Structure 1
Amino acid sequence: MDRPEALVPIRYVDLGGRGPEDVTADADGRVLTGVEDGRILRLDGLADPDRTRVEVLAGTGGRPLGLELLPDGDLLVCDAHRGLLRVALDDGTVRVLADSVAGEPLRFCSNVVALSDGTVCFTVSSRRYPFEQWIGDIAEHTATGRLLRLAPGAGEPEVLLEGLQFANGLAPAGDESFLVVAETGARRLTRYWLTGPRSGHAEPFAEDLPGLPDNLWREGPDGPIWVGLAGPHVPALDLLHRAAPPVRRAAARLAVRAPYRPAAMAGALAVDDDGRVRRHLVHRPSGFRMSTSACVADGRLVLGSVWERGIAVCELPADAR
């Protein structure tokens, strides 16, 4: 799909905290997210502005990013400061599942999925830059992102795949035969096979995307994978990535010190299990910037943002419901 469709905003919901980087929906149409001060929030009543309620469920004591609801009602959280966490939503208890791999601290966990056999897979965006300096990794093009797996009962995760360009969003195939990893720095989705003759191998899934892919989310095995577009395609960034390493390092040093303001756009893609882009939704110019995640809740498309202090509620295309 080459021509984007209009992303139609309905309203903005202020959360009283900056940076709802990832959004996910539960079976009751409620949206969960985490904000900069460590709070895990749940939003109910999105269909009715007069009844929308924001509830604090827990605090991680760090910086929550990617979220994954478990069948028992607990929540997996990738915390950029504390590692992979499990949060009991009934009482707010936080337990660290993993905070290192092979003796190296997990300082930039990004997104997580739980498979039906109890396996947990998650990404680390960068081994060189912390979350607060994410733009340095994008500029330097470090290829230090990783895909990790924590097997049921294991005390420490194992590395499945490394050398990724800012590993970010993660989603399983409908049949769990593979994982899809968003490489934000390369504008592509990568497939990692879990089963079959190519088990343990990675290959391109969707390349040359029209923007920077961030978090991934899918609504059950038959739904598409929704991709938050954190920004547009920037040709100058492509040129920088082809420059020599010293040039990229110098650019990264400048980038982490310079003021940053995202492009005035919000966008999302819907991708099927064959890697085909089925929807490309864009709103531009947009007052809601840096749409780092997208999920479907209560018949609406909900966008999260690492930049904003709230979420955007948008129309879901009729044939995507």
Structure 2
Amino acid sequence: MDILRSVLRFVDRTGVEPVAWHPPPAPAETGLFGPGRQLDDAQLWQLPTGRGPEDVAVDGDGRVVTGGDDGRLWRFDTDGRATELAHTGGRPLGVEVLDDGRFLVCDSRRGVLRVDETGRVEVLADAALGQPLLVCNNSAVGRDGVVYFTDSSARFPLEDHRLDLLEHSGTGRLLRFDPRTGEMDLLADGLQFANGVGLAVDESFVVVAETGSYRIRRVELTGPRAGAVSVWADNLPGIPDNVTSQTGDGIFWVALYSPRMALLDRVAPYPDLRVLTANLPDFVQPDPIRRAWVLGLDRDGRVVHSLRGGKGSYAPVTGVRETSDWLYLGSLSAGAIARVPRSVVGS
């Protein structure tokens, strides 16, 4: 084994330093988690340029806002026509519509941004607590304007997120930021690729997805347990990405990037195998399963909705947003956003 380790150190091109872990067995894809076709036949709205509308937000007029990998921020009218709002100069991920009509953008390269309809881009934060924001990812905004957001990794940029999942060293953070005062504080660290963020309707707690551990954590914001961190939903059937704040119907929507990947789980306990995996050519890397899947969880973290698509459905799904008529979906790599009638929730 020492010889193998020496060889791996010599050939390693990634700098990955895996930590052994033992993922729980994936839930059976039966019952609520069984195959479904609710997300088939989604209507697609193409980005005029670029790809990867990773998140989707909806304004008060029903228009959808998203960002692509070329740095452009787009707004789609209700008939699917796109207008360019701004160019962030980076890679926009999470998007929120603010009460004043401006947009809060988590840009993986530039940090927390505020953007207006004239195209003006303002950097609100590009570091937190003395550490640069390496992968500013997703956010939720409270009624008081306070921003809850994730910095996914202190080790690898977005382009190498696969290496963070293979390493499993847990360097992600959930942060709270008040743009009015500039005050920044840490709500949770040690997270396995901190990702989607959602606020409870009463803002008594916030949830954050740990993509690398297939779970979602909960952080208390009020009451005698304020600051306490707990596991809210564990051993999900897929790889969680963005999370919405709780809807009026009490649902937190969670986008699943992929169903669980057996090979990724199989090598998890063996750091040397993960170094080897990290250095394999792309065409033999563990590949996400291209099936659309979103979950709806109640306030207690119980899965109450599981909406899926079959082969050829819109994937990988990384963002989801509900309106009265539609579920809008985003993707890290697709060339379009997608929508399906909200009526599929009850199908």
Q: TM-score, normalised by structure 1?
A: 0.91
Question: Alpha-carbon deviations, 1:92-144, whole Å to 9, x = none?
Answer: 11111100123321120010111122211100111101001111111111211
Kept in 1, the 8 Å contact 2:103–2:115? The answer is: yes
1:46-85 alignment, distance < 5 Å: 51-85=79-113
Q: Given that residues 261 and 289 in structure 2 are in contact (C-alpha distance below 8 angstroms), is that contact kept between their aligned partners in structure 1?
A: no
The question of 1:231 aligning with 2:264 is answered no
SS at match of 1:137: helix
Alignment of 1:215 with 2:242, yes or no, is yes
Compared CA separation, residues 157 and 27, structure 1 to 2 (3 A): same
Whether 1:280 aligns to 2:311 is no
Q: Is the 8 A contact 1:4 1:280 kept in 2?
A: no
**Residue deviations 1:157-201, cap 9 Å, x none?**
222210111110000011111001011111111111111222111
Change (3 A) 1:52 1:243: same
The answer as to 2:46 corresponding to 1:14 is yes
Q: How far 1:2 sits from its partner (Å)?
A: 3.9
Alignment of 1:300-315 (within 5 A): 300-315=326-341
Is contact 1:41-1:56 (8 Å) kept? yes
2:203 alignment partner, SS class: coil
Partner of 1:114: 141
Aligned equivalents of 1:239 and 1:305: distance in 2?
26
**Superposed, which structure 2 residues align to 1:157-306 within 5 Å?**
157-218=184-245, 220-244=247-271, 246-254=272-280, 262-297=288-323, 299-306=325-332
* Residues 45 and 338, structure 2, Cα contact 8 Å, conserved in 1: yes
C-alpha deviation, 1:287, in angstroms: 4.3
Question: Which secondary structure state, in structure 1, belongs to the residue aligned with residue 244 of structure 2?
Answer: strand
Would the aligned equivalents of 2:204 and 2:222 in 1 still touch at CA under 8 Å? yes
User: Which deviates more, 135-144 or 216-225?
Assistant: 216-225
The structure where strand makes up a greater share of residues is 1
Partner of 1:27: 60
Distance 1:27 1:219 in 2: 17
Match of 2:76 in 1: 43
CA–CA distance in structure 2, aligned partners of residues 257 and 109 of structure 1: 28
5+ residue gaps, structure 1, are: 46-50
The 2-side partners of 1:269 and 1:319 are apart by 10
2:42 aligned counterpart, secondary structure:
strand
Paired residue type of 2:112: L
Identity, % of aligned pairs? 44
Larger Rg belongs to:
2
**Partners in 2 of 1:156 and 1:108 — Cα distance?**
20
Cα 1:53–1:275 change in 2 (3 A) is same
| Counterpart-to-counterpart distance in 1, 2:33 and 2:332 | 27
Q: Give, as a single letter, the amino acid of the residue that structure 1 aligns with 2:69.
A: E
Contact residue 182 and residue 214 of structure 1 kept, 8 A:
yes
Alpha-carbon contact 2:263-2:286 (below 8 Å) kept: no
Q: Output the CA distance in 2 between the equivalents of 1:92 and 1:226.
A: 30
The 8 Å contact of residues 214 and 230 in structure 1, kept in 2 or not, is answered as: yes
Task: Give secondary structure in 1 for the equivalent of 2:138.
Answer: strand
Q: CA deviation at 1:62?
A: 0.3
Whole-Å separation in 2 of the counterparts to 1:15 and 1:226 = 23
Q: Are the aligned partners of 1:65 and 1:80 in contact in 2 as well (CA < 8 Å)?
A: yes
Q: Report the Cα offset of residue 87 of structure 1.
A: 0.7
Report the AA paired with residue 273 of structure 1. Answer: R
Deviation string 1:60-115 (CA, Å, 9 cap, x unpaired) is 000000111111111111100001111112x1111111001233211200101111
Partners of 1:319 and 1:229 lie apart in 2 by 16
- Cα distance change of structure 1 residues 103 and 84 upon mapping to structure 2, 3 Å threshold: same
Contact 1:65 1:79 in 2 (8 A): yes
Kindly indicate whether the alpha-carbon contact (under 8 Å) linking 1:135 and 1:255 is maintained by their aligned counterparts in 2. no
Preserved contact between residue 175 and residue 221 of structure 1 (Cα < 8 Å): no
Query: Within 1, Cα distance between the matches of 2:251 and 2:121?
Result: 31
SS of residue matched to 1:161: strand
CA distance in structure 1 between the aligned counterparts of 2:293 and 2:201, rounded to whole angstroms: 23
SS at match of 1:242: coil
| RMSD, matched Cα | 2.2
Which residue does 2:150 correspond to in 1?
123
In structure 2, how many angstroms separate the alpha carbons of the residues matched to 1:219 and 1:308?
26
Cα distance in structure 2, aligned partners of 1:158 and 1:252: 33
Under a length normalisation based on structure 2, what TM-score does the superposition of the two structures give?
Answer: 0.84
